[in-house]
């Protein structure tokens, strides 16, 4: 299956809030499979729609890569309702290759979202899945994990970021599913 192009740091699509998901196009299941294929081929655990150029408030994640008791899932129109505790762990991002930094996030969250059948669910997550969800919901709100590290640390990676942005300059337009 063809991978989708990952939009890199510097793309305006990663800087703005995505559109709320209304009716999904008929071809969406096919696109979703391509999203999964893209995520797996790049060794990612989560992938937001705007990372592949789709301006829609949804992301996918496969927690089974971390915990065999959990599975892969799509989160449509996700919203974090509650957050508690803190946890600091190193993160990376497919849109910011080769950069890993420690990020402090909530340890436990409650999230409301719709599944592919468009049923609204409310679930609690803690630890690793909670981190992935917070990272991806940030993407959908136009926030990258490097905005959650100290300005000093960010200054250390400035030249690397600049190089990534230069590579990603062609990926600026949103895509449509057809």
Nearest residue (CB) to Zn ion, 26 versus 90: 90
Q: CA 145 to CA 138: how far, in whole Å? A: 8
Q: What is the DSSP code (8-state) at residue 100? A: -
Nearest residue (CB) to Zn ion, 74 versus 93: 93
Angle at 38 between CA 92 and CA 79, to 5 degrees: 60
In the complex, the smallest distance separating the C-beta of residue 93 from Zn ion, rounded to whole angstroms, is 3
* Positions that interact with Zn ion (CB under 5 A): 93
In the complex, the smallest distance separating the C-beta of residue 118 from Zn ion, rounded to whole angstroms, is 25
Nearest residue (CB) to Zn ion, 143 versus 175: 143
In the complex, the smallest distance separating the C-beta of residue 139 from Zn ion, rounded to whole angstroms, is 5
Nearest residue (CB) to Zn ion, 118 versus 153: 153
Q: Kindly report the number of other CB atoms within 10 A of residue 104's CB atom.
A: 11
Helices (H), the chain: 28-41, 128-140, 151-156, 158-167
Handedness of CA 12, 18, 23, 27 (dihedral sign): positive
In the complex, the smallest distance separating the C-beta of residue 107 from Zn ion, rounded to whole angstroms, is 19
Q: CA 45 to CA 96: how far, in whole Å? A: 14
Residues tagged active-site: 136
Residue whose entry in the numeric block shows the structure tokens 């999964």: 36
Partnered with residue 149 across adjacent β-strands are none
Residue nearest to Zn ion (CB): 93
- Helix (H) or strand (E) holding 76, with range, is strand 72-84
């Amino acid at each position: 299956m063809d991978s989708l192009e990952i939009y890199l740091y510097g793309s305006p699509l990663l800087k703005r809030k995505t559109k709320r998901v209304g009716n999904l196009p008929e071809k969406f299941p096919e696109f979703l499979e391509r999203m999964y294929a893209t995520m797996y081929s790049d060794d990612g655990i989560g992938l937001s729609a705007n990372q592949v150029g789709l301006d829609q408030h949804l992301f996918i994640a496969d927690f089974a890569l971390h915990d065999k008791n959990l599975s892969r899932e799509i989160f449509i129109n996700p919203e974090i309702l509650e957050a508690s505790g803190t946890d600091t762990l190193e993160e990376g991002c497919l849109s910011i290759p080769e950069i890993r930094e420690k990020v402090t996030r909530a340890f436990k969250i409650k999230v409301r979202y719709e599944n592919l059948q468009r049923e609204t669910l409310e679930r609690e997550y803690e630890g690793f899945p909670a981190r992935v969800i917070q990272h991806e919901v940030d993407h959908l709100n136009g926030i990258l994990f490097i905005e959650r590290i100290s300005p000093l640390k960010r200054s250390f990676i400035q030249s690397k970021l600049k190089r990534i942005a230069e590579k990603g300059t062609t990926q600026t337009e949103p895509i449509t599913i057809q």
